[in-house]
């Protein structure tokens, strides 16, 4: 046997390749924890059971469609099926680049080979018309279950992701400087995000500390468990399921914020900055010169809009304490 063949002789089945990729992915800190969990679950629960025993020589479009795509699309959304196929293709592509397999049996294959048309956009779980009911409900939750209520209100108020919000530490927040710093290692883009804090957000954080259970006092984590440890994204998702009655998700709060920002006139690039989306060099230059003032101005406008729909019940400030001089639109 040649050296090249000996190097690629270890993997014969689709399952071996996918499992190898999953085990690498689970240790890959360059991607977010939520992505690692999602893809590992899809591979272990769907791709490996469906295609794992199939040898690489027998793997082709028809087998993927018959064994994985067609059965899975009857019980899961197109977006979920797309992610499963995407993971399979990534595993094979990496394995062949590293010469762990001799050839990629699905080279040149894409999700369009199994799905006609564009993927439908995910339906929004929350719309602007829901806010007058949503916000008072979150304020009630804030008083009854401060961690769940505060997590939802902070995400709605700032458009942050669930993972980066759960990892917030008190040392990352300065009420004096009125900023919340999200370190680069906690963000999806691996870029530090400095979130301006409005008077409403500062008052909300102050009230939250006062409402915390004694077992959480002294914890470095803003969203701590009763033992003082950090609230995980999985635990947070369960809180959201209970809070929403499974009618909306944490990501729906982020999408809702983005939608209303556009409606109240927040500049598109400013919105992208607040969401910490990756942007090009031109946008980066714009960010360095004008970001701080524009982001704070946008959040001030947003929180005034929320105040008119019940947000003040949570933070407790009056209009003259927030700096509002006119009624929110």
Q: Structural domain boundaries of the chain?
A: 3-113, 128-322
88/67 Cα distance (integer angstroms): 13
Domains 3-113 and 128-322 share a fold: no
H/E element, 182: strand 179-182
Residues forming a β-bridge with 195 = 180
- DSSP summary character for residue 322: H
Q: Which residues fall within 8 angstroms of residue 324, CB to CB, at 6 or more apart?
A: 304, 307
Burial of 8 (0-12, 13-18, 19+ CB in 10 A): middle
Burial of 98 (0-12, 13-18, 19+ CB in 10 A): exposed
- Global pTM reads 0.66
83: tokens are 């992610």
CATH fold for domain 3-113: DNA polymerase; domain 1 (1.10.150)
Print pLDDT tens along the chain (329 aa).
Answer: 333 443 445 799 999 999 999 999 999 877 767 788 889 999 999 999 999 999 999 999 999 999 999 999 898 888 889 999 999 999 999 999 999 999 999 999 998 888 877 766 666 788 899 999 999 999 999 999 999 999 999 999 999 999 899 999 999 999 999 999 999 888 887 788 889 999 999 999 999 998 887 777 789 999 998 888 888 888 888 899 899 888 888 999 999 999 999 999 998 888 888 888 876 655 555 555 557 889 999 999 999 999 999 999 999 987 656 654 333 33
2: tokens are 């040649």
Tokens 């961690």 map to which residue? 147
Question: 128-322: which CATH architecture?
Answer: Orthogonal Bundle (1.10)
73: tokens are 């699309």
213/227 Cα distance (integer angstroms): 10
């Amino acid at each position: 046997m040649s050296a090249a063949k000996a190097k690629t002789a270890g993997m014969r089945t689709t399952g071996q390749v996918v499992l190898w990729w999953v085990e690498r992915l689970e240790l890959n800190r360059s991607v977010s924890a939520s992505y690692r969990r999602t893809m590992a679950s899809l591979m272990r629960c769907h791709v490996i059971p469906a295609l794992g025993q199939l040898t690489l020589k027998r793997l082709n479009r028809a087998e993927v469609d018959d064994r994985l795509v067609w059965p899975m699309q009857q019980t899961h959304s197109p977006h979920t099926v797309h992610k499963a196929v995407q993971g399979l293709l990534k595993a094979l592509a990496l394995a062949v680049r590293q010469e762990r397999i001799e050839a990629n049996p699905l080279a040149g294959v894409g999700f369009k080979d199994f799905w006609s048309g564009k993927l439908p956009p995910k339906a929004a779980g929350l719309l602007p018309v829901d806010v007058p009911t949503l916000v008072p409900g979150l304020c009630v939750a804030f008083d009854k279950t401060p961690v769940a209520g505060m997590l939802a209100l902070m995400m709605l108020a700032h458009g942050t992701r669930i993972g980066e919000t759960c990892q917030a530490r008190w040392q990352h927040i300065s009420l004096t400087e009125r900023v919340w710093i999200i370190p680069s290692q906690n963000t999806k883009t691996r870029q530090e995000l400095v979130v301006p804090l409005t008077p409403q957000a500062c008052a909300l954080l102050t009230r939250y500390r006062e409402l915390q259970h004694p077992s959480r006092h002294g914890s470095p984590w803003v969203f701590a468990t009763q033992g003082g440890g950090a609230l995980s994204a999985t635990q947070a998702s369960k809180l959201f399921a209970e809070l929403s009655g499974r009618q909306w998700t944490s990501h729906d709060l982020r999408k809702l914020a983005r939608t209303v920002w556009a409606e109240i006139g927040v500049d598109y690039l400013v919105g992208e900055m607040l969401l910490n989306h990756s942007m090009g060099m031109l946008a980066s230059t714009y960010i360095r010169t004008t970001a701080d003032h524009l982001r704070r101005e946008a959040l001030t406008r947003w929180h005034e809009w929320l105040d008119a729909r019940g947000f003040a019940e949570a933070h407790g400030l009056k209009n003259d304490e927030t700096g509002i001089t006119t009624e929110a639109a």
